[in-house]
């Protein structure tokens, strides 16, 4: 059952590339078969986000058959110029996503901005407009499009395919401004798709973590926080 402060949206794209971020230092990349929690959270943030709250991804539906496509690319070389690499993308993807937001209790300076109705109204308005920022699936090369939907409606390609496990995969990052810990960690879990649906474990319930690096926390105040309603009004003009 959807939570009161939730949004439901459909995202689709010609290609997607959901890779393990710890392997993104170079070389050839191969996409996971299903989207990661962090990638879907990034899409929700592209629709609408404020540091006042944190998007929590509840569930995703895989609507189309999982297909891969191999393409030659020319990524930038650290020494200058370009190099050659083969990337394996997902092709012709479509997902339904159910997500909700929760207050970021590690941002006490933004307590006055915790107005549920305001943020939910703006989020749904921005979703109807296709998002506030560019939407991409895993990498900026994979431009996507979002629109409102009723989660669970429409026929999915895996609605009666039973259970499918994917092994140990990347879940998301523990950012210091969301955890209060001045360290960046990567989370890993073992997702299982049942009849085309993956119910995500909450970040705090994940036990497999890897330390990435020390990281500071940026503080927000009146001088560097724009009013949410004013920003929404700018987009309506």
Buried b (16+ CB within 10 A) or exposed e, 50-68: bbbbbbbbbbbbbbbebee
What is the pLDDT at residue 86? 83
Kindly report the CATH class assigned to 6-166.
alpha beta
Query: Who contacts 213 (Cβ-Cβ below 8 Å, separation ≥6)?
Result: 183, 184
What is the pLDDT at residue 29? 85
pLDDT along the chain (237 residues), means of 10: 83 93 70 96 96 96 96 76 83 98 93 95 96 94 95 94 94 93 94 97 95 81 53 46
What does pTM read for this prediction? 0.89
What is the pLDDT at residue 228? 44
Domain limits, the chain: 6-166
What is the pLDDT at residue 25? 64
Buried b (16+ CB within 10 A) or exposed e, 147-176: eebebeeeebebeeeeebeeeebbbbbbbb
- 3-state DSSP percent of the chain in helix, strand and coil, to 5: 20, 35, 40
**What does the block give as tokens for 181?**
């810990």
């Amino acid at each position: 059952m959807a939570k009161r402060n939730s949004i439901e949206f459909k995202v689709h794209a010609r290609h997607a590339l959901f890779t393990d971020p710890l392997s993104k230092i170079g070389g050839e990349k191969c996409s996971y078969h299903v989207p990661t929690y962090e990638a879907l959270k990034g899409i929700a943030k592209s629709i609408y986000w404020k540091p006042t709250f944190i998007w929590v991804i509840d569930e995703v539906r895989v609507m189309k058959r999982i297909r891969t496509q191999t393409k030659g690319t020319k990524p930038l070389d650290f020494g200058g110029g370009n190099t050659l690499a083969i990337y394996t993308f997902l092709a012709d993807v479509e997902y339904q996503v159910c997500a909700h937001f929760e207050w970021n209790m590690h941002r006490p300076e933004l307590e006055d901005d915790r107005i549920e109705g305001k943020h939910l109204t703006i989020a749904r308005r921005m979703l109807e407009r296709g998002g506030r920022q560019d939407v991409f699936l895993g990498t900026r090369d994979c431009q996507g499009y979002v629109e409102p939907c009723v989660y669970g409606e429409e026929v999915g390609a895996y609605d009666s395919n039973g259970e499918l496990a994917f092994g140990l995969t990347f879940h998301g990052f523990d950012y210091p401004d969301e955890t209060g810990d001045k360290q960046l960690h990567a989370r890993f879990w073992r997702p299982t798709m049942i009849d085309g649906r993956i119910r995500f474990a909450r970040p705090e319930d994940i036990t497999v973590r890897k330390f990435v690096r020390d990281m500071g926390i940026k503080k927000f105040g009146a001088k560097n926080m724009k009013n949410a309603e004013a920003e929404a009004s700018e987009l309506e003009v």
